Structures are given as structure tokens and as C-alpha cells.
Structure 1
């Protein structure tokens, strides 16, 4: 209750003050025309709002369905990232269809519905991915702008690498040569040293299967190293914090929140193409529909779920599917809503010596939790300044892996990962709550280069009804084989001698999973998602009869409409994709400014 009152008070103050005069709650205050209308103030949309309004001749409207992120502790305090989703007021509380690969379970599928979008609710890991991922983008699109060499400046441009909250010496924890120190987005290594940090790094040095990687943001990602996160000044640094708040007082920027775009409208043809330059929006299913016109471009940055939903509601998508719902097809683009790709995530836990310091210190003791929060509020230090994982690893299957003999390697190349390991000094799971007693260590693993592909489809013509989301996680032999190997790799990691005086035993029934068959069933029963969906409006070469957008991110066969978010990625990078989204938005901003 107090948090809601704080947010409401902040909004009232902003609306009455010159510094936040352009943040709007009432759609009737929006002008009839702008040069650019950006749909979504998420990771990409906030970047575009900042960069396009650098030109004082452009006026820009951003329409965001969600609320403000200001003053919400769960969106500010780094360790509270795990509390930011699901089923919160600032998330799209989606669920998936029953997943056959999960033994017919449905899972929650939250996305950020707030200023900053999913950058305000993710776990803040900042990894660019393999250089081969971007060279593959360039190859797929036949456009060198997406290659590692040409795209790397846009990956660096957002970043402002800073010292961590505890100001410890980070020599040997990252490579300064591959970073930027004057961008808007604060990035750092962990600002609170966990009891297991040294053991993780020592294992990487001691065991031949694992190698130490000083800095996986160099483009060479294989190995285990220190996690870099979008954390600075002891707080989460989202795209809202980095890009939107600093420019909210620009006279050529309006930001309308708590308002949902229902469709984009086509009223005439230009150069033989339908022009989509009018946006329809409303604040409730039964509320008044408003319209605004973009004189230059409408830019969809509504995310991997929202962008295809808006397009299909507008008559852009698979004509057969649209006709079945009674929507008149205007542009037949069957790729819209297809090619959904995501990282499935599985967690293994071990019981550790009971007197060690783990996440459970605060989770099982309200006094300790209050002390940690007080320390954070007082001086921005302590356990709450860190994300859930201080170390991360990217690895490949063994060369003689049986699945590679029957399935073409889906990774981007020999320097790219098949699976990821995340190390957490406590009980970590995206499926179940932590036990009420005991101390734990977790290793989470994902399929970094998945072959499973899913869909986003309309449930109805009601824009306020969630679409049908079917990521088809773990639906291929390759993906389940990689997940099993990743879990076994985590076991071998913990078997290193450095853990002998720390780890007691696998947690619960995990100690009895002594065959691949038993492990597979446990994985299918407990795996969730890392919530990294991409690909539902993917790039393809100019003139290609597949895909949704050209390499300049203009929607194929349409005038006036561009897409800038993770839906344009033709495949999922072996990375937490926020860094790639920031880079894409920076490139898109330059492309857009150059074309006008």
C-alpha cells in the first residue's frame, strides 16, 4: 500500500513540475501528430526516445502500456530482481500453453510492463554474446552492418563500466580494453563478494573441462568468469534509468503511460505500398479509442509478444490465420509470430555446510533480512547490491557428443556455446520456493543455442486478451540432450576438490538421479525458462520471401513502419539478450536519423 502511494505521489509531482512535464497519464493530452510514434518504452523504445529527440527538429511520442518504475524497491535493489516477476503490477503476466517438452506443464512467462520494459525486471546479466553470433546475423541478412566488426561499436556505445558498490579492486575480473566508460548504461561486476566466488573461479582454473575467461564480452565467450550486470551506484540500471529519465524534460518528447496500443492503421498507399502511420490506443477494453499520426515513422518496440500481437491485430501476418479470426488481411507475412526461440532453464541444488553464508541467511531470518535492507538503505552496500549470480559460464558439448553426430550444430560456430552455467550462492529455482531450512548452492544451466521454435498467435480480436504463447521448449532431441549434458557438467563442476569442505550432498531426490533417463524426467518436470524470447518478427535479406523486416528493420511490403526490439533477431544469441537489444536500438536510431 505504501509503495503504491509513493508511486502515485511521484506521478502527481512529476505532472506538476517542469522536470517531468512530458510524462502523461491522460491520452486526451496527446497531440494529434508527431514525427515519430514509438510503441513501448522498454529496453529498445527508451533508447530510441533518447536518441531521436537529440534532434530538436523531431518530436516524439512514446506510448507505454505499463506504469512508472520510479520508487519501486523490487525494481531498484539488485538482489530483489528475483522478486520482480511474476504476477506483479509491472509485468505482463503471460502463461504458455501446455509444453509437451515439460511433460505437459504450462509455465508463467512474464515480460516487463513498466518504463524500461524487461530491462526493469530481468536479472540484469549483461553479455554481448559470441562474435560469431553477429557474423551469423550478417550472413543471414546479407548485410554487413550486423557483423561483429561493424556492430561492435553499437554494443559498446550504451555502456558505462563503473566500479562495483563495494569499491574492491577489480583487476583480473574484467578486461577494460573491451569496454566503454562514458555511455549512459551503468555496468559492473558484483559489488558484494559471495563466500563461493573464489571456489567457482578456482574450479575454472583447476579442472580441464572448464577454463577461466577474463571477459566474455570480448566476443570470445567460452569459459567461466565474473558476471557483468546492469548495476551501478548500488542499483539496477534499466533503459528507463539510463536513457529515458535523463531526457524526460525535453520539449520534443511526450511519454504516455498506462495506455495500450490496440493496432496500427492503414489509410492510404504510398509508392505502391500501404502506409501504416496511425496508431490506435486505449486505456481499457471498453474505454475510448484514441488515434495519433506519425508523420515520419511508427516504431514498434512492444517486445517479442506485444509486437506480433499488434501487427496481427492490424491485418499484418499469416493471411490464413487472420481470416479465421475475422481480421481482414492487408499484408501477408506468415513469419509474424513464428520462429519464437528461448533459453530453457534448469536448476540443480546442493546442500552445503550449515554455518556458511548463503541467500538463506535473510530468507530464513527476518531480523537478518531487515539488517541487510537497512545496510543497503544507509550506504548502498551489503548482499542486496548483487544480482543472483556472481559468476557465469558458457560451454560446448564434447566433440564426440552423440547428438552432434545426428544433428547439425545449431550454434553460430566453434567459439559459441551450446549451454550456459549460472552459479548462485543459495537455493535458486524458477519453479519452486526455497526450503524453509538448510543452506544451499545452485548451478543453473540453459540450452544456449536451442533448436526448438515456437509461436505467438492471436487468441481473439480483443487487443486486451493475451495471445497464445507456445515456445515449444525442449521439443527437440538436441535441446534435451544439451540440457542433460549441462546438468551433468554442473555435477562434475561441484565434484572438484575445492568443494569438498563446502558441499555435503545433492538436494532431495537429485542424489538418486543416477541415469540419463531419470535425469531427463526430472528436467522435464522442473525446467522453466530464462525468459529470453526472440525472433517473432525476424530479419531477412532485402527481397526475401521469408522473415518480417529487412536489415534496416523496416517491415517488409509496408511504408511507415519499423520494428526495433528482440523480435527481429532471426535466432537467439548465446547470451542474455539485453546487450544485443541495446546495440540494436542504437544502430536503429542512427539508421532512422540518417533516413530523415
Structure 2
């Protein structure tokens, strides 16, 4: 299991209990499927980043009644999900996650990776590490070209970005003039802020960027549409220093709407074709249960079923319903009803690598986490003032970097355009213990590097016809040689970044398996031993032009060869953006909500 390893969990758990009453808000949701109506206008499967947007927007007029079904529990009172700095520790709470693992990855020395997804209200927006980016203008313009649909160009999507997020002041209300640009932000329910707690490396990162020049240029606001450069990180942290998720942003304010029912702790097992004389099957009956041996329930969507179960669960539900590759379904004993070979295929994700460096200071969070009293004090400071170490995520600075043109001699540049990076650098003021246990002594900084335009492709396939058996997940990391080469260049770029004069005497040495690697071949080998996922799975039910034989959904996100069925989540991405994916999901969902209204209003 991969999660951030905080010391002294007993003391932290005790502190959580002290604060729980202050954070607990009971949501008006059902846990008893017997209370669910036999019919709704819309049934939304999955209360994650996309599903909650859809639930909010489709109930706001009062014209439609909507059922939202979530496999996991409520997000309320789950303190590691609320406290920004503790976000990684939520992955140690089994009932709040889909505890997926990949199959062994041949290009990663046959390692099996944890592949965690959120299983609670808010989905992965309630458990992610909070970094927020919307993607570059070029990313969305490429979507428009790939789908042959201008609606997906940035010019036409901008209004939906502005509708989804807003920039709020950090908890300490400091002047953010030189950290972000409010003109690039909107007035939506998702709150985004810059860090409130300054670390030792924040100013050093910006100084190094300005010293080294064009390759690491300073970018005032990563949401400007041009993502390239080093920026102050923006995170989904509200002005009260608590996580802003799709649950807090889109659901909390609508629990009382009489035309919305929310059913939690209940898993959709398949969609059933409706009895119809039409040549195009309609999948508007939803089957669900609370465990593999429990009672099976059904409800019907008069207008549409909207799958927002994510890039892993959405293709699983489709295949269990008879929608997918005909030969593969037949082999599993499932009657194929709609032959869509791309269901579950083309899985894309950003491979992540952790680079560790020893530093000559005691002012990193390593010092706090080794002292139980300091840890509890930091947690209490957050609870009383909203400030301090725990008010921010692990990341105060990020960089989206492009490789020099000489690297692409004889190669095809896979990026969407000059406003998109080839790799990301994520700066962390301490030892980010995701795979490697934190050392007992010393102080460190971590720089994560991620390949942003992976050419490697994977898949999600059925392991069983039992919907409660996890599917087979194969991200296919590093199966494309260019991804390996790009990661090698990213590691070398990080090392170059630390040659800036501001780091003299501060960064003392490299550390760990990657730190010991010097040549390109050694770096590539170390990367195969160390790469993990950044948890950005996408494109397993990809969008394609209306009449294209490839793909799974139309540009309106309707499942091809069916009626009454739409998909709204990361699975529809025609290609993964060079960005953290929660921002693009909100944009897609806001756009999709208007697609639905345009059809039914």
C-alpha cells in the first residue's frame, strides 16, 4: 500500500478524535437502497469530481429529479481528507479508497503498483494531493482537433473553467500580487489558493528560476493558459484552510434540494438494456447492490444514465453491461450487446518519479514529523487559526518544463503545443515517503518529476463477471521508449536546477537509488525501479468524432451505438492533458451539464 508515512499514528489519531466534533457535518444521504424511487429523470453513477458537478447542475432548475449513487461513504468528518497537509494519509483508510493494484509492469522491473482511487463523496477530489491546474490552451485545442468538434477548443471552454473555480485568499491573507494573477480565475464553487505557510525553499525556487532563465522561466500564474515555467503552486484549499472538493464545492450546498436523492455505500453492478423495438439499445435501467451477496436493486432513468465512475470503474461497468469488445466479452461469458473495442483500452497516466536531496537545514517538515509534540501542535494550530504547516499541501512550487528543440531531432514532439510542458517538477520541502521509508535522521527536499505526454498505453479489462472483483489494471508504464528518455531528461533538469547559486551550501548531496545514478543508462535503470503513478488515469472510454469507428463516446459524450447513456469523467479524455486532471474534469463536467440541458430543456 502506498501512502505518506506519518510517524506516531497513535498520537495523530488521538488528535483527530479531539477535532472530529468541530469538523463533523452530517449529510442528508441514504444508505438504505429500499428508500430509492423506482424511477428518476437522471441517474448519475459515481459522486466524484464529475458526478457531483452533474448532480448540482441538473437539479438547480427544479425541472428534473436526480439520483446520485456512490459506492463509498460520506466524506464528512474524515479529517485526513480535510486537513491539507495530511492528505496523503487518507490512503491508509481502507473504506475511503478503491484499493486497486496494477498487474506487474514489465518495463518497471515487473513491479506491481498501488493504484488508489477515491471511494467516497467527492471521489478522488476528496483524497488527492490538492494540486490544481486547468491545463493549457493547447491541450484543449488539441481535443477539438482530435474530436473534430470546436466546442472542445479553449475559446469555447473558457466559460466552463471560470464557472467551476475561484481564487480565494490564503488563510494568512498575505499579499499574493507576485504569486498569482486573479484575472485568470473565475467565480465557481471550487476554491483555489496559493500557499499560506512559507517554507525555506519557496524563495529559493523562484530565485533559481529567475537566475537560470528561459529553460526554467518564472510563470506568474499556471492557470494563464500557458503552463510553461516555474510557478507558485495553486491548490484546492479554501480560505478556511480546508480541502475544497467536488463534495464540499458542489454537493454541500444542495443536500436540501427535494429533487436530489443521494445513495451511498452502494455499488452499481451493471446497466440493463430496456425492452424496446429500437435497433439501438437503451441502457437506462441501473442495477446496484451493497455487497456481492446482498440484495440486487434496480432503478430506471427516464431520460439518461450518466456514468461518472472514473477511468477504472466506468469501463468495468460498461463491459459488465455487454458494451465493449465483442470477442473479449464473449470469452468472459457476457453477451455482447454493443461492440465497442476501445472500451477499457488506451489507458493513459503520468508516471511519477521521486528525486531526493539532502539539505543543510533543520527547517523542513522532516523535523516536525519526527517530533510527536510538534506534530500535534501543528495540527492544533491549523484547527485554531487555519495557519501553519498543516494549512498547505506538501507542494508550494511546481514547474512545467519543455525540452530543448535539439532533443526532438528525428523524434515527433508528443506535446499539445508550445504552451504545454514535456515534464513536471513538483517541489516538496521534506522527504516525501511514498515508496521509500523516510530516514530517521537528516533533512531533505523532494522533487517529483512526471512525464506529461506519455506515449505508453495500458488497459482496464475484466478479471471476473463478478462486479465486486477488481478489474485488471495495466497502465503500461514505460512501454514507450520516449517516455523513458523524457524522464531521464527530467531528472537531469532537476539536477541542473540545483546548480543555481541560491542552492550553494544548501543542497549538499543527492540521496537514494536515483541519487546514486549518474549516466543516462543508470538514471533509466533507477527510474524503472522507482517510478510510481501520480494517479491520473484517463482515456479508457475516449471521445472521438461523431461518425468515427474508433472511440467510445461522441463529442456530446453519448456512448456510441446506444441511447440514454452518457459518460462524464476522465475516461472520455481523447488524450491526457499535460496537467493534473481534476481541473480538466470540472471543465468537462460543466460542459457536459449544458449538453444535457440543451437536449432536455
- Pair 1:347 & 2:354 matched: yes
* Shift in CA distance, 338/378, structure 1 to aligned 2, threshold 3 Å: same
Deviations 1:367-423 (A, max 9, x none): 11011011111111100011111011111111111xx23431111112221100000
- Residue aligning to 1:191: 196
Checking the alignment, whether the CA contact within 8 Å between 1:266 and 1:274 is kept in structure 2 is yes
- Match runs of 1:287-306 below 5 Å: 287-306=294-313
Among candidates 523, 526, 530, match of residue 530 of structure 2? 526
Deviations 1:159-194 (A, max 9, x none): 1210011211100111111111x3111111111111
Instruction: Give the SS at the match of 2:409.
Output: helix
- Residue aligning to 2:4: none
Measured after TM superposition, the shift of residue 102 of structure 1 is 0.9
| CA–CA separation in structure 2 for the residues paired with 1:511 and 1:188 | 33
Checking the alignment, whether the CA contact within 8 Å between 2:23 and 2:77 is kept in structure 1 is no
Measured after TM superposition, the shift of residue 88 of structure 1 is 2.8
- Residue aligning to 1:201: 206
Q: Which moved more, 1:532-541 or 1:149-158?
A: 149-158
* Shift in CA distance, 353/7, structure 1 to aligned 2, threshold 3 Å: closer
- Residue aligning to 1:476: 480
Checking the alignment, whether the CA contact within 8 Å between 1:336 and 1:548 is kept in structure 2 is yes
Checking the alignment, whether the CA contact within 8 Å between 1:352 and 1:503 is kept in structure 2 is yes
Measured after TM superposition, the shift of residue 510 of structure 1 is 4.2
Among candidates 263, 271, 275, match of residue 256 of structure 1? 263
| CA–CA separation in structure 2 for the residues paired with 1:202 and 1:96 | 40
* Shift in CA distance, 200/13, structure 1 to aligned 2, threshold 3 Å: closer
- Residue aligning to 1:314: 321
- Match runs of 1:174-253 below 5 Å: 174-180=180-186, 182-208=187-213, 209-232=215-238, 233-253=240-260
| CA–CA separation in structure 2 for the residues paired with 1:411 and 1:485 | 15
| CA–CA separation in structure 2 for the residues paired with 1:271 and 1:10 | 55
- Residue aligning to 1:105: 111
Instruction: Give the SS at the match of 1:546.
Output: coil
| CA–CA separation in structure 2 for the residues paired with 1:262 and 1:179 | 39
- Residue aligning to 1:385: 391
Instruction: Give the SS at the match of 1:521.
Output: helix
Among candidates 122, 126, 151, match of residue 128 of structure 2? 122
Among candidates 407, 429, 450, match of residue 425 of structure 1? 429
- Residue aligning to 1:444: 448
- Residue aligning to 1:278: 285
| CA–CA separation in structure 2 for the residues paired with 1:405 and 1:109 | 35
TM-score (norm 2): 0.95
| CA–CA separation in structure 2 for the residues paired with 1:216 and 1:267 | 46
Measured after TM superposition, the shift of residue 3 of structure 1 is 10
Among candidates 585, 589, 593, match of residue 585 of structure 1? 589
* Shift in CA distance, 160/414, structure 1 to aligned 2, threshold 3 Å: closer
Checking the alignment, whether the CA contact within 8 Å between 1:87 and 1:93 is kept in structure 2 is no
Instruction: Give the SS at the match of 2:395.
Output: coil
TM-score (norm 1): 0.96
Aligned CA RMSD, in angstroms, stands at 1.9
Measured after TM superposition, the shift of residue 569 of structure 1 is 0.1
- Residue aligning to 1:136: 142
- Pair 1:575 & 2:582 matched: no
Checking the alignment, whether the CA contact within 8 Å between 1:260 and 1:282 is kept in structure 2 is yes
Instruction: Name the count of aligned residue pairs.
Output: 586
Instruction: Give the SS at the match of 2:584.
Output: helix
* Shift in CA distance, 13/348, structure 1 to aligned 2, threshold 3 Å: closer
| CA–CA separation in structure 2 for the residues paired with 1:6 and 1:590 | 43
- Residue aligning to 1:329: 336
| CA–CA separation in structure 1 for the residues paired with 2:402 and 2:261 | 46
* Shift in CA distance, 353/255, structure 1 to aligned 2, threshold 3 Å: same
Q: Displaced runs of 4+ in structure 1, greater than 4 A?
A: 1-14
| CA–CA separation in structure 1 for the residues paired with 2:309 and 2:191 | 23
Instruction: Give the SS at the match of 2:63.
Output: coil
Deviations 1:13-51 (A, max 9, x none): 94xxxxx54x10000110000000000000000111111
Checking the alignment, whether the CA contact within 8 Å between 2:25 and 2:76 is kept in structure 1 is no
- Pair 1:559 & 2:567 matched: no
Query: Gaps (5+ residues) in structure 2?
Result: 1-12
Checking the alignment, whether the CA contact within 8 Å between 1:270 and 1:559 is kept in structure 2 is no
* Shift in CA distance, 485/330, structure 1 to aligned 2, threshold 3 Å: same
Deviations 1:498-522 (A, max 9, x none): 0013111111454432211111111
Checking the alignment, whether the CA contact within 8 Å between 2:30 and 2:261 is kept in structure 1 is yes
- Residue aligning to 1:365: 371
Measured after TM superposition, the shift of residue 432 of structure 1 is 1.7
| CA–CA separation in structure 2 for the residues paired with 1:2 and 1:226 | 34
Measured after TM superposition, the shift of residue 8 of structure 1 is 12
Measured after TM superposition, the shift of residue 7 of structure 1 is 12
Measured after TM superposition, the shift of residue 533 of structure 1 is 0.7
| CA–CA separation in structure 2 for the residues paired with 1:434 and 1:52 | 46
Checking the alignment, whether the CA contact within 8 Å between 1:431 and 1:527 is kept in structure 2 is no
- Pair 1:496 & 2:503 matched: no
